[in-house]
Structure 1
């Protein structure tokens, strides 16, 4: 079973003031390469991105994260049975969290499996192929998921403003 990763990096980054994806994406991609995913697709939109990973541009990125996710899923190889979704603004993504939700999906099935931190749903989120054709433009936030506790691995972070940057990236 092949597992892919889709990195959502299409947003405008208006609160950050500059394209934060360009700063944060290398961190996220490095962490994904340390996990067990077999392929990585980055979804760009508001800004062009240069990266060694496959990049697809979502012309409809303003419609919402689901539109960006759909664009990324359409780019994945036919052999991918599930996709791990991560955000480009989560530079502290733990490779172990990616592997933990993949292992949970392989062991217990389901179509949506997400990491949780202190009982709160977060990223990464795994989407089984059977869900790929029904992603709403608003994204998957309102859909039921099976949570996999990842508290011990630390949250991936959420950089919205320069003040949110980890010290190592300032």
Structure 2
């Protein structure tokens, strides 16, 4: 069975949100970082890493004790810095694939992660590239095999993730529309 590490990208300042989304909480008080970590774990990831940048000192205690953290000193450079830090942390695990998601997807179900990993890990391996699509729009989770980690880290810049790399390398598209939860939250009225 394939071994998966989950990566929660949570290092940004959340300028449209009004503050770091790593500090956001659901209406019941549960931190979004905890929700994202649990989604990855329940979806089939054996390890989980959260990238932290803006508000890292306050966000660190919100990360479940069983998950790791990767502090992103250059978080102001955008999503690429968070992704690079997450992939570098993943390299320290024995995972074959990384399942990447965003902290601002509190409604993403673990079923989406399971679908992305396939039954019993499916045919996933070090060369895997899979991207979730919601209502025809590319989104998360994204599954990236270990063989691509260095290349993606070298290719991403600024506030862009791996979309160009995934497109250029013909990532397999997995429709997760029926599962819901693919819309990121950019307004504070969804958090506390």
TM-score, reference length from structure 1:
0.88
Aligned runs of 1:1-170 on 2, under 5 Å?
A: 1-23=2-24, 24-48=32-56, 49=59, 50=61, 51-52=63-64, 53-76=67-90, 77-103=92-118, 106-107=122-123, 110-135=127-152, 136-137=156-157, 138-143=160-165, 144=167, 145-163=171-189, 165=190, 169=191
Aligned 8 A contact 1:91 1:156 in 2? no
Across the aligned residues of Structure 1 and Structure 2, the Cα RMSD in angstroms comes to 1.9
1:98 shift after superposition: 0.6
Contact 2:50 2:86 in 1 (8 A): yes
Structure 1 alignment gaps of length 5 or more: none
Q: Secondary structure at the match of 2:15?
A: coil
- The whole-number CA distance in structure 2 between the counterparts of 1:118 and 1:78 is 33
What is the aligned partner in structure 1 of residue 28 from structure 2? Answer: none
Give per-residue Cα distances to partners, 1:37-83, cap 9 Å, x unaligned.
11000000111122122111011222232221121121123411110
Q: Normalising by the residue count of structure 2, what TM-score does the alignment of the two structures yield?
A: 0.78
Structure 2 CA distance for aligned equivalents of residues 106 and 70 of structure 1 = 26
CA contact (8 A) 1:67 1:139 kept: no
1:97: Cα distance to partner?
A: 0.8
Q: Give 1:7 shift.
A: 0.3
SS in 2 for 1:101: helix
Question: Unaligned 5+ residue runs, structure 2?
Answer: 25-31
CA distance in 2, matches of 1:111, 1:34: 21
More strand by share: 1
**Following TM superposition, by how much is the alpha carbon of 1:14 offset from its aligned partner in structure 2, in angstroms?**
1.5
Aligned to 2:29: none
